[in-house]
Chains A and B, each alone.
Chain A
Amino acid sequence: MLNLQEQVYQWETVEDIWAGLKDARLTGALREQLFNGFSPDKSPNERSFEKFDMLLQTLKKAAVESSWTDCVQVDEAENVFRANNLLVLLGHFEWVYSIFATLPGASVVVR
């Protein structure tokens, strides 16, 4: 039997990934490219890892503009974490890309 679609990895975040960006237009463009570009209603071909790679290049440029902000997460001693959330996201996406990019038929969904 052929699997139409199988989820092999999922990841979610509670942090505001745009918190470090001050340029509203850039934020809007990135949001569009991330969420609409990889929405689940698109076919797998339209959500390919080649397209994901293009997104990573855009995020890489934007991460330079992004600053460090307080995070939602606190550690055990109640210290508030700080992070460049876009840089954190980029690092994680690049890692996921490196693992799955060569997997035949693999695609990405962003919700």
Chain B
Amino acid sequence: MIGIKRLARPGDLVKGVAELFARHGSVATLEVFEDVCFSADTWVSLGAIRLQPEENFEQAVSLGFYVWEEPDQPTAEAEWNKAFAKQPSSLGRVLDAVESTKHRLGLLSPLWDAQRFSEFPFSRPVTIVSDTTGVQQGALDFVARFLTPAARLKIPAIVQMEILNRADNYFKARRRPGQRSAATALDHILSQGGQRTLLRLEHDRNVEVERGHLVDPLRGIVAPSSDPEDKNLGLQDIQRSFADRLIFETARQHRFDANHGHPTYLLTSDQGLARMSMAEGLPALFFQSPKAGFARTLSGVRARPFDRGLFSIPLLSVLWEFAVCFGMARLRFSESECVTVCALGGETSWQPFHCQDDLLWVSIQTDSTGNSVVAPLPLDPEPAGLSENRASTPISDPRGPATKNTQGSYAIDPIKFVKILEYFRSNEHLHEEALGTSLGLQSRGGIDEVKRFLKSGGFLADGLKLSRSQLLVDLIEAADRLNLELAATHLRKCPSFNDFVGDLERRRVLRPEDVTLRAYRCYGGLAELFGLGLRIQESGLIWAGRNPLPSDFAKAALRVYRVLSGTGKTLF
């Protein structure tokens, strides 16, 4: 029995999962469980996750340094057949749905129509109207990930309704005994996966989902009606062809409303809908419906398709996605040690705020006690690198013993820091979007890093809304008056920066190899900005925190001059 203990975000589990990987040779099995369709206590293995850390396991978990080794086809089918009480006729579709989940995550990419693919990435704005397959099979995620902002998205109302209809089918079956087939599991995977995709896009501030003032055409056709004529015509039943036509009409209506020459595409893997769309003069953005693959090695780090960069899929995103699709997913490290994430089933509940923060119910079961314990939510945010010495800390005490490691730092360089001060000079509250724009940050990770830095130093006040603290106001005022000594005192309230400066003061000189490159670049720069250090190319970062009186400085300078004079040496 799984003890569901606490709500957590994916980021809250990084430490706990990293420690388990460190203890178990970097390998775990990814397993899923559907509590009404699978046989009791029968988890299905989706393959082995092999972490690829250099040293830092937490970084490997959070940045996606892993490979996923899929089982071969006979092994996979045997696993699935074991889970379903009777031989499932729709097992192939369930396996295809699992493949679609990998596409949504970005572990695989859609197989596009070659002609349309050659138009990627779009150089001018286009609108992409997605059908239900686009949402469920990962093509919409690909568009959002790699083709925005040129591509604007439009989700017809009927897509939401089709997904909701499938969810309704699932929950009806769930409440009714004897309806526990693979088809029900398929409804679970596709409906919950589809809704998660739509919510993810809604919360992604880099994605623009169009919602025109006009309602979707023919929307009323599926509205409740007491008209006997409607009943005779069967218009209340959402038939496949109706739904397809409604999606097409939405795209056509959008093209009609858009400016002349603004391209509109219909995103679908449905051949019939694609053909109808082309026959009506609307280009289809066609991709092949994903088919189950076996015995592959998938990488958590992948090449971006239209530029020279890489992107990664964090391991816990994979766990979260499968937990939502099946109800439960876990990383199993041994017979008795696992990390379980639950979205549905057991004693779980759901509230809208869970979606906002991607909260699911988690438990970590350890070998030592046999009890489920949960990694507590981090109360004190810590910078990357501070926990490197904790890899062997028992999971029952996830925070581990207090350590001092001045190599930890936030990625806050002087330019970013000055922009933060400028932002809070004119803004009392922290609005993520505005802060991201002010600092030129594109990703959620960058904004979170700034928030962690501000929280660690007490620069944000407690309250319902994140707002600047009095300490931050004092720091801004000190900086404005060029009172660097006072400003530095305030800044040193950030523990990791204070540790860095303390180390600098103790050693007098810090060389790049003494700390991490990031700490040297970012905190070294901040130390220079506030007169605590001076970087000299050949020597390193030199302590400059003393602020002597001019008379004392003159005496010291003369003393050094006398020592150096006649020796042929120079100060620098």
Residues of A within 8 A of B (CB): 8-9, 11-15, 63, 68, 70-71, 73, 75-79, 81-84, 87-89, 91-92, 95, 98-100, 102-103, 106
Q: Is B562 an interface residue (CB 8 A)?
A: no
Shortest Cβ distance from residue A31 to the other chain B in the assembled complex, whole angstroms:
19
Q: Which of B298, B305, B308, B411 contacts A14 (CB 8 A)?
A: B308
Query: Can you add 14 more A-B contacts, CB < 8 Å, to A75-B445, A87-B297, A89-B303?
Result: A11-B305, A73-B310, A75-B443, A76-B411, A76-B441, A76-B446, A76-B449, A77-B446, A82-B52, A84-B67, A88-B301, A88-B303, A91-B298, A99-B111
CB of A79 within 8 A of CB of B305, answer no
Given contacts A76-B443, A88-B310, contact A81 B301 (CB under 8 A): yes
Contacts of B522 in A (CB 8 A): 78
Q: Is B112 an interface residue (CB 8 A)?
A: yes
Q: Within residues 48 to 65 of chain B, which ones have a CB less than 8 A from any CB in chain A?
A: 52, 54, 59-60, 63, 65
Contacts of A11 in B (CB 8 A): 303, 305-306
CB of A81 within 8 A of CB of B63, answer yes
Which 8 residue pairs spanning A and B have beta carbons closest together?
A8-B118, A76-B446, A83-B301, A68-B52, A77-B411, A92-B303, A103-B114, A78-B518
Shortest Cβ distance from residue A74 to the other chain B in the assembled complex, whole angstroms:
9
Q: Is B442 an interface residue (CB 8 A)?
A: yes
CB of A99 within 8 A of CB of B303, answer no
Contacts of B63 in A (CB 8 A): 75, 79, 81-82
Q: Is B5 an interface residue (CB 8 A)?
A: no
Q: Is B195 an interface residue (CB 8 A)?
A: no
Can you list 28 A-B contacts (CB < 8 A)?
A8-B118, A12-B308, A14-B308, A68-B65, A70-B54, A73-B310, A75-B445, A76-B442, A76-B443, A76-B449, A78-B411, A78-B518, A78-B521, A78-B522, A79-B59, A79-B384, A81-B301, A81-B310, A82-B60, A84-B52, A87-B299, A88-B299, A88-B303, A91-B298, A91-B299, A95-B109, A99-B114, A99-B117
Chain B at the A interface: SS class: mixed
Instruction: Report Cα–Cα, A15/B389, bound state, in Å.
Output: 30
Q: Is B312 an interface residue (CB 8 A)?
A: yes
Q: Is B302 an interface residue (CB 8 A)?
A: yes
Shortest Cβ distance from residue A44 to the other chain B in the assembled complex, whole angstroms:
16
Q: Is B517 an interface residue (CB 8 A)?
A: yes
CB of B114 within 8 A of CB of A87, answer no
